[in-house]
Amino acid sequence: MLSGLWHAPLVWAELLSVELTGVEDDLRKNVLAWLGNAPETPQSRSNYLHSARSKVEQSLKALGYYRAEIDMDLNRQVTPWSLHISVQPGEPVRLRNIDIKMVGEGSTDSALTDLVASTTLRPGTVLNHSDYERTRRGIATLAQQRGYFDGVFEAARVEVEPVGGTADVVLHFASGPRYAFGQLLYDQDIIRQELLQPLIKVQEGEPYEQRKLSETQAQLQRTGYFSTVILRPDLGRAENGQVPMDMTLYPAKRHSFDLGIGFSTDTRERLSVTWRTPKLNRLGHSQETRLQYSSINPSGHFTYQVPLSHPLNDVLQFWARLEDNEFGDLDSNQKELGIRRELRSGPWVYSYSLRGLDEAWDAQGLDQESDYLLPGLSFSQRQRKGSLVNPSSGFSQWYQVEAAHGDFGSDVDLLRLSARFGYIQSLGAKHRLVLGSDLGAAFVSDSDRDQLAPSLNFFAGGSQTIRGYSYQSIGNEVTVTGDSGDPVRLVVGGERLVTASVEYQYSVTDSWRGAVFVDAGDAFDEGEFNLNVGAGVGLHYVTQVGAIRVELANPVTDDNPSWRLHVAIGAEF
């Protein structure tokens, strides 16, 4: 459609209606933005009419249209008054010569030279003053962030020749010297000094970088020791090419309490209370006590953490845990004490641990109790892009190996291996693929098989593994004599685990998406694999704490399949 034939009302107000024709898309939006809201008083209407032509001209020049023809027709005989603005933008001004020059120490700084090289200002392109301003501000901002505090523009202008339809850009930046970090000044008695040193990225004598200030603040904040961290350069006391750094640390609250409410069809309703003490003493020790009630697995967990060489990347944890849980047809009671050292290196988290587990379980006359002393090793990696609870892409992997021996405090000899994988990939703006897999193997002698506790066996089924089946209902089965004297089949878990999931999601809006999925696998004893497949559809509502997922799935490999509803709240990844 030709722009000159389009007469859509722009604004309807009590005193003035405005109609704009002749421009579309970005030009039209910019004109409207410059004109602003319609007037609401006679005086503001007079001001509006007086400045309208000038504002339209300026809005067009901002996007390179210096030769526009503007006609304005005001009708005072109607109520409200009617203003018709007709624009013929003409040919735009195009860039001819681009003269961007960096002098001083900044001329050899790759960060600055790369920024200059990436500018969108190119000969032959339409002049857009916002592109020029973005380039000018970008150079000035980056120079400040990299310590060129004396930097100034010796020349910064756009030279327009409206008649010839050309424009030249001149940007000459004199960076001056690059300053270095000076002495870091701070006063605190919150935490032991040695604990802070690995977190501070600002080192005296090194070239100034704003990024290192941000990293230091983030690292200190993550420890939980401080409520606020303020780190800034003191430019007024800069001398000999160095800028002193002032840091102010405010202590965090000594205790915090969190209440949580959740629900899933696996574990039913959940109510939890968590008590945290981020700093018990100047050595940086901390504790977390968490009590959780659920009809399926009520639990209590206490963790005491001691920082070693690094408060975030090298910590020693002591823990105690009590938990009741339902594994298949077994009711399990677990008591556990453990110690773990956890280390972080880049995206990887490594840990080695030792835990003592006393677990008792019973079902239909099958009563057992065993003790285990389990040294273990685990390592994991998680990478994601986008939101923490709703990433656009990501990959996670987790591996663990644990062992037990009858000569070292355990009732059985055991080697247990497990792994978990997750993958998310957005395919365009609306499409999303989610993959997952769990693998496991427990190696135990036939004579000790019955003494392998439910928490060390493997189970499948539920919203986290194979949907369409109830929570932890898939596992090796045994036949026992029930209380009535009749044989009863019990799900007791398997020595092996293999599950995989494929899910496709389509975003209807930013908050709502639909899903279709297929899950498959089994928890089984060696040589007894039986494929279980669940398939279904879901509706997800994305919130700040993760997606609320309502899913309907069918166990398609069952002889008499029936639909099962799964509800879960939380992050997928």
Q: What is the pLDDT of residue 481?
A: 64
Beta strands in 364-466 (DSSP E): 366-386, 391-404, 414-427, 431-444
Q: Which of 179, 165, 194, 182 is nearest to 67 (CA)?
A: 165
Return the amino acid letter for 443. F
Q: What is the pLDDT of residue 289?
A: 97
Q: What is the pLDDT of residue 484?
A: 63
| pLDDT per residue as tens digits for the range 383-408 | 999 888 889 999 999 999 999 999 99
Give Cβ neighbours of residue 197 (< 8 Å, ≥ 6 apart). none
Walk me through the domains of the chain, giving residue ranges and CATH numbers. 3-88 (3.10.20.310), 94-174 (3.10.20.310), 180-251 (3.10.20.310), 256-570 (2.40.160.50)
Both tokens of 206, joined, read 């090194």
25-35 vs 42-62: helix axis angle to the nearest 10?
A: 140
Q: What is the pLDDT of residue 132?
A: 96
Residue pair 148/106 in contact (Cβ under 8 Å)? The answer is yes
Residue pair 280/303 in contact (Cβ under 8 Å)? The answer is no
pTM to 2 decimals?
0.80
| pLDDT per residue as tens digits for the range 222-241 | 999 999 999 999 999 999 99
Taking the C-alpha atoms of residue 162 and residue 366, their distance in angstroms, rounded to an integer, is 93
Q: How far is CA 55 from CA 8, 52, 61, 94, 131, in A?
A: 20, 5, 10, 22, 20
Q: What is the pLDDT of residue 7?
A: 41
Return the amino acid letter for 525. D
| pLDDT per residue as tens digits for the range 346-395 | 899 999 999 999 999 987 767 889 999 999 999 999 999 988 888 999 99
Q: What is the pLDDT of residue 333?
A: 94
The residue to which tokens 């102010």 are assigned: 248
Both tokens of 568, joined, read 């879960």
Residue pair 185/245 in contact (Cβ under 8 Å)? The answer is yes
Count of positions (residues) in the chain: 573
Residue pair 339/351 in contact (Cβ under 8 Å)? The answer is no
Cβ-count burial of 280 within 10 angstroms (0-12 exposed, 13-18 middle, 19+ buried)? middle
Taking the C-alpha atoms of residue 414 and residue 408, their distance in angstroms, rounded to an integer, is 11
Residues of the chain with pLDDT under 70: 1-13, 365, 481-485
DSSP annotation string for 359-388: EEEEETTEEEEEEEEEEEEEEEEEEEEE-S
